[in-house]
Amino acid sequence: MTLSAADPMVFLPAVDDPVLSGLRSGFEAHLAAALPKSRDAADLVVAAMREAALSPGKRIRPLLLLTATHALGRPASSVMDAACALELVHAASLVMDDLPCMDDASLRRGRPTLHRQFGEDVASLAVIGLLSQAFRLAAASPALEPGPRARLTVLLADAVGCQGLVGGQLRDLRCTEGARTARDAAVVNRCKTGALFRAALQGAAIAAGAQADVQDALGRCADDIGQAFQLLDDLKDDGALAPTGKDTHQDEGKTTLLSLLGRDTARRRLQRHLRRVEDALTALFPQEDVVLRLLRRGCGFDALGQAGARRNGAAPAQGSAAAAG
C-alpha cells in the first residue's frame, strides 16, 4: 500500500504544470486583494483576518473549484471570487476549530493559532469578519450571472450551516457522549470535512451550467474526497503518518473512524475512497486530468497517480495504493 507520508505545509504546484501554477498565483493575488486592509495598528480584527486567510496553506478547496470549473469548460476566472469566498469560510472554520472552547489548539499551519496571537476575543470577531467578507464576495461577484451566483451563494451557506460545518463541529465535540459507530463518525466527516469539498465541486457545476446528473456525481465524488482527506488527517494526528504544521493527538478521547476501525482497516477504507475518486473524475473528465493532478499534489492522494496510466491503457503498478485493499 502506498500512502504519501509527506504533506507539505505549503502546496506549490510544480513549475512544469502551467495550469495549476497559473491558477495558484492568480488566486493568491485575488485573495489578498479581496481582504480588507488595516487602517492602523489598532485595527486588530482586520490584521487577524489577514493572518488567518493569508498564512501559508495548500488552498485545496478553492483550487478544486477553479480546476473543476476549468475542466467543465468554463473559465476559472468566472469563479475566482467564489474561490476566495470558499477559502475565507475555510479559514474561519479553522480559527473556530482551534479556539479554547473547541479543540484548544496551539499550532496551525506551523504558526501559533490565531487566538494565541491576538487573543480569543479578536479571533472570535475575526471569524465573523471572514464569514461576512466571504458571503459579500460570493453574492456580489460580477463574473457570474445572477442565477448561478445566487445558487452558489446558497450552496456556500448550506456548507457552513447545521448540515455542514456547524453541525459537524457539534457532533465532533460531543462524540464522547454515548456509544458511536463507524457510521456516526462518517457522518461527522461528511459534515465537517466534506461540506466545503461539495461546495467546491458542485459550485463548479453550477457555474458551468452542468446538468443535474453531473452535479450529483460531483457531489458524491466530493464526499469521497472528504472522507479520504479526514482519514489521512486522522492518521497524521495518530502518528501513523508524518504530521505537518499543527498539533497532534487532538483526537484523543474522540470517536473517529481510526479509533473505531484501527489503522489497517482505516487504511483499507481510505484506499476504497481514493479508488472511487479516481474512477469518478476519470469518467467525468476523460480528456482533462487537472483535478486529479491537484489532488495528487495537494492532498497527498498519490493513489490517484494511477489515473494517467489507466487513461493510457496501462495496468496499475503492483502494490500501488490504487490496486490495494
Grid coordinates belonging to 122: 479578536
Instruction: Judge whether residue 241 has pLDDT over 60.
Output: no
With H, G, I as helix, E, B as strand and everything else as coil, classify residue 14.
Answer: coil
Can you read off the three cell numbers belonging to residue 22?
497559473
pLDDT of residue 244: 52
Mean pLDDT of the chain: 83
Mean pLDDT within 234-246: 61
Residue type, 259: S
pLDDT band at 191 (very low <50, low <70, confident <90, very high): confident
The cell for 120 is 480569543
Residue 214 has pLDDT above 90, yes or no: yes
pLDDT tens sequence across 61-102 = 999 999 999 999 999 999 999 999 999 999 999 999 999 999
1, 24 Cβ separation under 8 angstroms: no
The full DSSP string for 84-136 is HHHHHHHHHHHHHHHSTTTT--SEETTEE-HHHHH-HHHHHHHHHHHHHHHHH
Specify the pLDDT at position 186: 83
Q: What is the pLDDT of residue 173?
A: 80
Average pLDDT (164-170) is 89
Per-residue pLDDT band for 253 (boundaries 50, 70, 90) equals low
Q: Are 81 and 217 in contact (CB under 8 A)?
A: no
Residue 111 has pLDDT above 60, yes or no: yes
User: pLDDT, tens digit, for every residue of 281-293?
Assistant: 999 999 889 999 9
